[in-house]
Structures are given as structure tokens and as C-alpha cells.
Amino acid sequence: MRTPIIAGNWKMNKNPQETQDFLDSIKGKLPDPSQVESVIAAPAIDLNALVWFSKDEPLKTAAENCYFEDEGAFTGETSPKALSEMGLNYVVIGHSERRDYFHETDEDINKKAKAIFKNNMLPIICCGESLETREAGKEVEWVVGQIKAALNGLTADQVSKSVIAYEPIWAIGTGKTASADQAQEMCHEIREAVKNLYDEQTAENVRIQYGGSVKPANVEELMSKEDIDGGLVGGASMDPESFLQLVNYKN
């Protein structure tokens, strides 16, 4: 059985004080982690507060990015080794904003996935097509290609523990959600791809999130779909009440 995983992705929002205020508001209100895993991915400057909070509360912590080298002369980058030593659980990699604005390639994302495992954390690997690709009917081929590239060289055990986030670019921050059926269809295709690349058990284990205008009003329907194991949520994760409604969608 896959444990549902709802992750907020704050993107480049909130300073350390705002982060602390948010955490104060959700204290004692997160679901039992055996029912739903609650995760927040925050800017690097806010991670310290998240890690401290997670010592007493059922919150898993995520960085929004890292570099693939452990240390060295890479000005402005964040070390996966340091994130791990700090106590982070996950790192989001391959978000479409990083691919588009910062020119990250499939190869970079694969190197980052390996660096994350080497440092005993888990990747949340993002994939997703543009509207143009969907309109050309090439969305499955595109997304499966991204997944194959990201997982290249990872073991079945590593893939079993990974989280994959399907985020169609046309649904991010636009208020335009993929329908639950569209989201399910692609998440199913991703699971099939993992089965073909690895085996049935690995495909059964890997958790697949949907992201793109997820909010309290649509989370339940999305989560009712067989191959959707969670959500990666931008806008609706930044208000504590809304975040609590998302992670407590079962109640």
C-alpha cells in the first residue's frame, strides 16, 4: 500500500519569519503520517525552521533544488550533502520552472537524483508537458522520455522509494487543473513506464503525485484516482488553513 503524500511547494515565497508564523499555525494539526504524509518544500533560507519543527511534528521536509556535487567552487548552489546533514528528507528536482528559467537538462536532473540518493535523501522528480506538446498529441511520449532520462542508472530499490510529480505546465499557476481523468491517465502511463523499465513491484511502490492548480476543492477527487498518490501544490499550500485542508483531505 502506498501512503498518500501531499507536498506544498512554496517556490520563491516566504521569509524565515513568515515561515515560522506558518508553522505556528499548523502545529498539532497535521494528519497521522501513516494515513497521509505531509511535506513542505521551501526556499533554502527557510529550511532550518522546517527541520526544527519536524523534530516534534509529523512533517517531512524538502528542499526545492540542489546541486549534484557535494561541495566545491559552485557559487550560489546548495549542497545535497549539507541538506542531508541538516536533516532534510526530500529534494524536488526537475520542476518545469527550473527547466524553463534556469535551463536544467534531463542529464542535470539525473545527476541530481543520484546525488540525492548518495546523500540518503529522496527525490521528488517533476515531469510534465507544455500545452503545445499536448495539443500535438505527444504528451505521453514527452513525459515518459523525461522519466526515463531522470531514472537512468537508478536501482529498482531507489525508484521504489522515489516520488514522481506529474505537473502539466499548462495547469501550473493558471487555475486550469487537468481533469482528474487526464491526471489519472498520465499517472497511469508513468507507472506503466516504470514497470517496463524495472518491474511490477517497483511500479507498484513508486508514488506519483499530480501538480497543477490543486486546491482544497479538487484534492479529494484527484486523490480518489487509482494511480494518483498525492499532490504537489503551489499556490494553495501557502496559506496555513488551505494547507491543512489539503493534508487532511481524508477527514
91 binds ligand 13P (CB under 6 A): no
172 binds ligand 13P (CB under 6 A): yes
Q: Of 35, 12, 13, 31, which is closest to residue 22 (Cα–Cα)?
A: 13
Alpha-carbon gap, residue 216 to 139, rounded angstroms: 27
- Cβ count near 101 (within 10 Å): 9
CB closer to ligand 13P out of 180 and 197: 180
129 binds ligand 13P (CB under 6 A): no
CB closer to ligand 13P out of 167 and 227: 167
Catalytic one among 37, 64, 95, 104? 95
CB closer to ligand 13P out of 202 and 209: 209
Alpha-carbon gap, residue 237 to 40, rounded angstroms: 8
Using CB under 6 A, pick the residue from 46, 108, 139, 167 that binds ligand 13P.
167
Alpha-carbon gap, residue 14 to 122, rounded angstroms: 24
Alpha-carbon gap, residue 32 to 89, rounded angstroms: 17
4 binds ligand 13P (CB under 6 A): no
* Catalytic sites, residue numbers: 95, 167
Binding site for ligand 13P (CB under 6 A): 9, 95, 167, 172-173, 211-214, 232-236
